[in-house]
Amino acid sequence: MIDDTAARAQVVDAADRLFYARGVQAVGMDAVRTEAGVSLKRIYKLFPSKDDLVVAVLECRREVWNAGIAATAERAGTARGKLLAVFDFLDAWFREPDFRGCAFINVYGELSGGSEQVQRTVREQKEAFGAYVAQLVREAGAPASLAPQLAILAEGAQTTAAISGTPDAAAQARTAAEVLLAAALD
C-alpha cells in the first residue's frame, strides 16, 4: 500500500487531468478513483470534500504556473525582458496539445457561486500573478499603473487562446505589451 503522500499526489494528478479535460462538475469522484487507482474511502480520507480536492488541484497548478513563469523569466536578462517572457511562456503553453485555457478561470466559471474555498484560491492565484508582474514593473522602473495592464493582457490572452483554439493570442498580447512598455519607459 502506498503512503498518504504518494496517494495524495496520485489523486491530485488524476483529478487535474480529468477536471482540466472535462470540467469539475462533469467528473464524479468515482472517475477520480478509477483514474487514480486509489479507493474512494481513501480519497475522502485525504480530501473530505470535492472542494478540498479542487483546491489541491489548483494549488498544484499554481506551483506548475509559478515554476514555468520563473524558468522562462530566468532566461531574460532585464526586468523588461522578464515581463515579455510571460508572453513567451504563454505562447509555449498555448501550443501544448491539451491546452484548454486557464484552469483557475475555468474552475471559477464553473464553481464560483458555490464554493468560497475555490473563490479564495482562484483570487489568491490571480493576486499573486498581479503582484509578480507589479514587482517586475517596479524593477523595470515603469509606473505602477502598467502592472495591471500587463496582467490583463496575459489573462485575456489565456481566455482568447482557449476559445479560438490557436496560440496567436500570446504573440498579439506580447506585441501590445511591447507597445505599453515602450510608452512607459522610452
Does residue 150 contact residue 180 with C-beta atoms inside 8 Å? yes
pLDDT band for position 15 (cuts 50, 70, 90): very high
Fold entry, domain 59-185: Tetracycline Repressor; domain 2 (1.10.357)
- The per-residue pLDDT for 107 is 95
pLDDT digits 0-9 by tens, 128-149: 999 999 999 999 999 999 999 9
Average pLDDT over residues 108-136: 92
Please indicate whether the domains covering 1-48 and 59-185 agree at the CATH topology level.
no
Query: Mind giving me the DSSP string for 3-14?
Result: -HHHHHHHHHHH
Average pLDDT over residues 137-164: 97
CATH architecture of 1-48: Orthogonal Bundle (1.10)
H/E segment holding residue 46: helix 40-46
CA atoms of 169 and 76, how far apart (whole Å): 21
pTM of the entire predicted model: 0.92
Average pLDDT over residues 116-129: 95
**42-61 per-residue burial string, b: 16 or more CB within 10 A, e: under 16:** bbeebbeebbebbbbbbebb
Average pLDDT over residues 157-183: 97
The domain spans of the chain are: 1-48, 59-185
Does residue 48 contact residue 127 with C-beta atoms inside 8 Å? no
